[in-house]
Amino acid sequence: MNATESTMARILSLFILALLPLFVQAQLRFTAQIPSHGEVNGQLRVQFTLNGAEGEGFTPPKFNDFEVLAGPSVSSFSNTRIENGRTFSQSSTTYTYILSPRHKGALTIGAASVRVGGKNLRTAASTVVVNGEAKAPKNNSGGYARSAPAPSTIQSSGSKIAPRDLYFSADLNKKVVYEQEAVMLTYRYHAREGIALAQ
């Protein structure tokens, strides 16, 4: 390799190293999935998802205008694959709440936050437009009664959990492979809705 080629190789290496933090930043996202509409006494599934890293110190927003029926239920996804000697990893963590709006109006759900590598990430605040009261099933007297969450849905603090309430699963993307062929092994972490995990 002559001097010119060596210089070009060094410039290319520096360019790639300069772009690497931008690539990592592009993969790191903390987002909220919140319905835009709801009904008084109805149920809303609200999720906060961190993609691209493992976070700590998750802090939910204040749900002042909502009753928290369940949550946080925490689920994690991790995927690692090896191709031609290179390792590629993906991960995500989702925090799920089941909320019930207390009254009508344009209700705001503020930002959630989580720490990643000493940096705080925040979701955007969202507005839920809440209309009239959700219909409940009729009771024996012919009137309507608000349906309460089933006791099996919400796990009380400190109680025991069944094996199917919290478990891991592993999946391969191929059943037949050849020597040196890349395969993808995916681990999934499952928590039943209503199971609250402390960090």
pLDDT digits (tens, 9 = 90+) for 14-59: 544 443 443 344 478 999 999 999 999 899 999 999 998 888 889 9
Cβ neighbours of residue 42 under 8 Å, at least 6 residues apart? 100, 101, 133, 134
**Domain ranges within the chain, ordered by starting residue:** 29-191
pLDDT digits (tens, 9 = 90+) for 62-110: 999 999 998 888 888 777 777 777 877 778 889 999 999 999 999 999 9
pTM above 0.75, yes or no: no
Cβ neighbours of residue 128 under 8 Å, at least 6 residues apart? 34, 35, 36, 37, 38, 44, 101, 106, 107, 108, 109
Calculate Rg over the CA atoms of the chain. Answer: 23
Using a pLDDT cut of 90, give the percent of the chain over it: 33
pLDDT digits (tens, 9 = 90+) for 126-165: 999 999 876 654 555 444 444 444 444 555 555 667 766 7
Q: Residue 197: pLDDT above 60?
A: no
Peptide bond before 72: cis, by omega within 30 degrees of 0?
Answer: yes
The answer to whether the Cα torsion of 14, 15, 18, 24 is positive or negative is negative
> Which superfamily, per CATH, for 29-191?
Immunoglobulins (2.60.40.10)
Residues 176-197, mean pLDDT to the nearest whole number? 68
